Amino acid sequence: MSLLHPNKPVIELGVNIDHVATLRNARGTSYPDPIQAALLAEEAGADCITLHLREDRRHIRDADVEALLPQLRTRMNLESAITSEMIDFALRLRPQDVCLVPERREEITTEGGLDVIAHFSQVKDAVHRLQLAGVRVSLFIDPDAAQVKAAAEAGAPVIEIHTGRYAEARTDEEAQRELDRVQAAVLAGVGYGLKVNAGHGLHYTNVQPIAAIPEIAELNIGHAIVAQAVFIGWKNAVKEMKAIMTAARLGIHKK
Ligand SMILES: CC(=O)[C@@H](O)[C@H](O)COP(=O)(O)O
Ligand SMILES: NCC(=O)COP(=O)(O)O
């Protein structure tokens, strides 16, 4: 278990603000403002702000990223496809973190992890260019030992384990099987000396077994926080998620 450190959270929360932008874009208004959401999330305890600049700009837009980066007090984790357009954008802005994710335009949400093995040279080149520019690179991968190995070989210092299949499990047995896969991938990543994060589809109940995995450094969570904010307010939703994650890491399970 992580030792309690006066200034370091036992597990970090990256708040993904994509779906604040979804709500804004639904009517083409200027509100709700994703930048305001990010700054309030930091006030509420977010350790970083994650945002996914998709190729189709369905939610976060270039101007959001450009306006937010200089205002953040914590750090920006920009999720990006490995296309030259997106890598060039990331190199121009140079956020603290970039997480390379797969993208298919027709997908409703990110369906699977980046296939590092199949796109090894392209991934390795993107990792090299971004790391050279001082950007810390994370690879968003499925909980698969071969992908973890490929990520380490591609030179990425960080991986984020895709928890989508765990989150979408329909039975307790399936959820446990997927949780075991996540845990094995986390340990494999630590074995290669990587920082290991996780995310996708996590909410206030299913987050607890994931947060309890002591080797996970950070969870990136968005959709569930935006949904909860509808009922209890944005800052409260962020605070509640952080509290549940921290309690789970300390062995306290909340109903
Ligand atoms: C990579 C990832 O898991 C997040 O970016 C997630 O995809 C949220 O964005 P969407 O809901 O647009 O997929
Ligand atoms: N990488 C996961 C992320 O940023 C948020 O995913 P979700 O919580 O919106 O499913």
C-alpha 176/C-alpha 20 separation (Å) is: 31
**Ligand 1 site residues, Cβ closer than 6 angstroms:** 16, 18, 52, 59, 79, 101, 109-110, 140, 199-200, 222-223
Q: pLDDT tens digits, residue range 156-200?
A: 999 999 999 999 999 999 999 999 999 999 999 999 999 999 999
C-alpha 148/C-alpha 157 separation (Å) is: 11
Q: pLDDT tens digits, residue range 1-40?
A: 444 555 667 899 999 999 999 999 999 999 999 999 999 9
C-alpha 74/C-alpha 243 separation (Å) is: 18
Would the pTM of this model clear 0.90, i.e. be above it?
yes
Average pLDDT, the chain: 95
pLDDT score for 74: 98
Two structure tokens written together for 232: 């209890």
Q: pLDDT tens digits, residue range 190-232?
A: 999 999 999 999 999 999 999 999 999 999 999 999 999 999 9
Per the listing, tokens 């509420």 go with 44
Candidate of 17, 19, 76, 79 to mutate for ligand 1, largest count of ligand atoms within 8 Å of Cβ: 79
Q: Closest Cα to atom 6, ligand 1: which residue?
A: 110
Active site residues: 52, 79, 200
DSSP-assigned states of every residue in 9-37: -SSEEEEE-HHHHHHHHHHT-S-S-HHHH
Q: How far is CA 172 from the centre of its chain?
A: 24
> In sequence order, which residues have a C-beta less than 8 Å from that of residue 151 and are 6 or more positions away?
116, 139, 141, 159, 189, 192, 194
